[in-house]
Amino acid sequence: MSESPYWNPRHETMPREGIEALQLRKLRNLVAWTQAKVPWQAKRLKAAGVDADSIRSLDDLRRIPMMTRDEWMGAQLEEPPFGPLLAAPQEVAMRYHLTSGTTGRIPLQVLDGMKDWEWITEMWCYGFWGFGVRPQDVVFFAFSYGTFVGFWGAHYACEKIGCLVLPGGNMTTEARVKQILGMKATVVCSTPTYALRMAQEAKALGVDLASSPVKRLILSGEPAGSIPATKKLIEDQWGAKAADTAGMTEVGTIMIFECEKQPGGTHIIEDHYIEEVVDPATGAPVPYGELGERLITSFGRGFIPVLRYRTRDLVVRMPASACSCGRTFDLYEGGIRGRVDDMKLVRGTNVYPRAVEAIVREFREVDEFRIHLFTADGIQDEIEVLVEIPDASADANAIVNRLRTSLSEAHEGLRFGVKKVESGSLPRFELKAKRLQDDRIVIGTAGERRVQG
């Protein structure tokens, strides 16, 4: 039997009506489990008039109330540490993780049982296998192995596949680059930002990464893995193909992955999730091709059932036919486009950090950057982009001027300040990069004064 390009060939190539039948059956089971085991959720379902028997088609999904992160956090505060959300006793759990803390006041805390943890690794297997990772690969993880779930599941997925796994926690960037080369790693896993950081380090060490055995990069943790200019920069510097993936602690693992065909988007693992795309303001569904917010329903982790969770992630859904890989799983074109709450209003113009990064990355001489929002003269908000241009032979003034013009043209003529700063002065990141600093005390030209403190 020839090797399948799919982790689960039956599901990944199932006709749409089969996927929907499977999702409907799993949805009924999930609602029944939730009703029986999580009184806090059962109360919400009952108030909405929903029970397992009343789920007759996928349209009935929309009768289930959406759940927000604020509600989850509130429940945790009410009954620390996990809130009234657990469907099984804590004694059965064998993993504890929490969110990375980039959004929200307090991190969300989650538990997994053995079967859940295996499922978490299973989702990563869809991604790794789908991008061509095989047992003979040597996989390096540039990951700190803390309480943030990050690449934990990916590590165990690669063990399951049978790869030789190199756990690169607690190492300097230099030591990581040296181990990647010394152990002849063929696959490297990191955030997009850190992939660039390692490439910088390799350059400083006089190493040509493009001639190394690394053939694949698996990126996660930031939207940049699907920003074409950033991805191209990473691929060129490493001489390797890069695949975007995205996951969330709330479900414990990834829900989307890019396949070997690299269609410019990420497949949704539709046999384990129902993903909806809605208007973030009204909650109404949006059609294929339109930007909206992801809602997720997960059939995986049974410990904390997740039904119609508002992710705040912005996506554009496309039919499976947009990719030639043969999977029948739909895609998110461009991966995660950003977050609903990422958008900044600057003198009446919407600014998305991802869009700024897409432009900055077209300027190959720029090594690192930061977006800085501040209030000028106590009344007006301003935006500036700080850039590092380490190459002394580059015409920095010309680059700064061209970048300023490009940013302004892409933002309805909005005035951007662009400043060259000393090389190495901007922060570097291993996990999720935080390149936006908002120091404004006034939002908008005649906007509200931000509450200080």
Partner 1 sequence: MKNSMGVELTESERVLMECYQNLVKVLQRDDLAPFERRNALKAVAALWQIANGLDLDPGQLYHIGA
Q: Output the smallest distance, CB 298 to partner 1, in A.
A: 13
Phi/psi for 129 (5° steps) reads -65, -45
Separation between Cα atoms, residue 161 and residue 158, nearest integer Å:
5
Q: Which residue number, 10 or 419, has a Cβ lying nearer to partner 1?
A: 10
Q: Which residue number, 153 or 335, has a Cβ lying nearer to partner 1?
A: 153
Identify whether the C-beta of residue 147 lies closer than 8 Å to the C-beta of residue 279: no
Q: Output the smallest distance, CB 156 to partner 1, in A.
A: 11
Phi/psi for 447 (5° steps) reads -80, -170
The residues pairing with 372 across neighbouring beta strands, listed in sequence order, are 384, 437
Q: Which residue spans within 113-163 are E strands per DSSP?
A: 138-141
Q: Output the smallest distance, CB 88 to partner 1, in A.
A: 4
Identify whether the C-beta of residue 33 lies closer than 8 Å to the C-beta of residue 87: yes
Contacts of residue 312, Cβ cutoff 8 Å, sequence gap at least 6: 69, 103, 280, 293, 339, 340, 341
Token reading at 303: 């410990």
Q: Output the smallest distance, CB 357 to partner 1, in A.
A: 37
Separation between Cα atoms, residue 219 and residue 193, nearest integer Å:
9
The residues pairing with 221 across neighbouring beta strands, listed in sequence order, are none
Q: Which residue number, 22 or 322, has a Cβ lying nearer to partner 1?
A: 22
Token reading at 278: 């809605």
Separation between Cα atoms, residue 313 and residue 343, nearest integer Å:
11
Q: Output the smallest distance, CB 6 to partner 1, in A.
A: 11
Q: Output the smallest distance, CB 9 to partner 1, in A.
A: 10
Contacts of residue 204, Cβ cutoff 8 Å, sequence gap at least 6: none
Separation between Cα atoms, residue 334 and residue 322, nearest integer Å:
12
Q: Which residue number, 273 or 363, has a Cβ lying nearer to partner 1?
A: 273
Q: Which residue number, 74 or 89, has a Cβ lying nearer to partner 1?
A: 89
Q: Output the smallest distance, CB 255 to partner 1, in A.
A: 16
Q: CA nearest 370: which of 390, 351, 356? A: 356
Identify whether the C-beta of residue 366 lies closer than 8 Å to the C-beta of residue 387: yes
Q: Which residue number, 142 or 274, has a Cβ lying nearer to partner 1?
A: 274
| Strands of the 436-438 sheet, one edge to the other | 416-421, 380-388, 368-376, 436-438
Q: Output the smallest distance, CB 115 to partner 1, in A.
A: 4
Separation between Cα atoms, residue 385 and residue 437, nearest integer Å:
10
Q: Which residue number, 114 or 441, has a Cβ lying nearer to partner 1?
A: 114
Separation between Cα atoms, residue 427 and residue 145, nearest integer Å:
21
Q: Which residue number, 119 or 238, has a Cβ lying nearer to partner 1?
A: 119
Token reading at 39: 């009184």
Q: Output the smallest distance, CB 136 to partner 1, in A.
A: 22
* Interaction site with partner 1 (CB under 8 A): 8, 10-11, 18, 21-22, 25, 29, 33, 87-89, 92, 113-115, 117-119, 122, 271, 302-303
Q: Which residue number, 25 or 46, has a Cβ lying nearer to partner 1?
A: 25
